[in-house]
Amino acid sequence: MQHSADTLKHRSETGKRQASPERTRRSARRGPSVSAGVSATRKCIVTGESLDCDDLIRFAVSPAGDLAPDLYCKLGGRGVWVTATRAHVEQACAKKAFERGFRAKVTLPDDLPGMIDRLLLKSALDSLAMARKAGQIVTGQTKLNAAIRAGKIGLVIEAEDGAEDGARKTRAAILATGLIDKLPVIRLFTSTQMSLALGQSNVVHAGVPSGGLSGAIIDKSGRLLRYRAIDRSPDTLIASEI
């Protein structure tokens, strides 16, 4: 069975802690936060549909009228919301939905859809780097497969440009554990991107133990997968067993 971006979203949400009253009050002052654990809905300025904030991207405007994506709801002031896919952001730009939403002239960054993709990619890779600093990353085909067979891995990350032979070996290790329907595998980053994030050379295979920072990696990778969903084929969309 394959794990879709929505499955990854569900996995990350089940691990979120409940927000304390103080966290809720802070969130209310600057708007709902995708990381605060506070359930809220907002209306997309492109479709008019009300969605959970985790399925939207917030945008804010500086006093000078410059538009900025506010991916984690940290910017103050009034905001507008767009469904969190590249296609909807492109529509918002083409239809001048931001100016209508803010009822004012706004200046858009060059290539706003591409800018958001890069920010989401950086956020996902930063979560890998955090796991490395915390000592929660296993790299290398042999070490990873041994850890999978020992039941010590809760998330597998494979370079999307890795060799198929390596992918088959990882799949065999997963099959041996009986976790083929439960162990998520992300194939989203290139080997170069993984190597830079993990401070190693030629990283193709990596794993993260259950709990710890695996939820953050799944959450941030899932956001990027969902953002790219409209423009990518189903086979490259899916974070799944290989």
102-137 confidence digits (pLDDT tens): 999 999 999 999 999 999 999 999 999 999 999 999
Q: Can you give the pLDDT at residue 56? A: 97
Structure tokens at 145: 């497969």
Q: Can you give the pLDDT at residue 34? A: 52
139-178 confidence digits (pLDDT tens): 999 999 999 999 999 999 999 999 888 989 998 998 888 7
Is the overall model pTM greater than 0.75, yes or no?
A: yes
57-96 confidence digits (pLDDT tens): 999 999 999 999 999 999 999 999 999 999 999 999 999 9
Alpha-carbon distance values, 178 to 64, 156, 209 (Å): 57, 15, 17
Q: Domains of the chain: which residue ranges?
A: 31-109, 116-237
Q: Can you give the pLDDT at residue 240? A: 40
Q: Can you give the pLDDT at residue 12? A: 52
What mean pLDDT comes out for the span 229-237? 40
172-205 confidence digits (pLDDT tens): 998 888 776 778 899 999 999 999 999 999 999 9
Smallest Cα–Cα separation from 132: which of 225, 191, 207, 240? 207
Alpha-carbon distance values, 201 to 67, 195, 197, 231 (Å): 38, 5, 10, 30
Burial class (CB within 10 angstroms; exposed 0-12, middle 13-18, buried 19+) of 142 = exposed
pLDDT band at 212 (very low <50, low <70, confident <90, very high): confident
Fold of 116-237: 60s Ribosomal Protein L30; Chain: A; (3.30.1330)
Fold of 31-109: Hypothetical Cytosolic Protein; Chain: A; (3.30.1230)
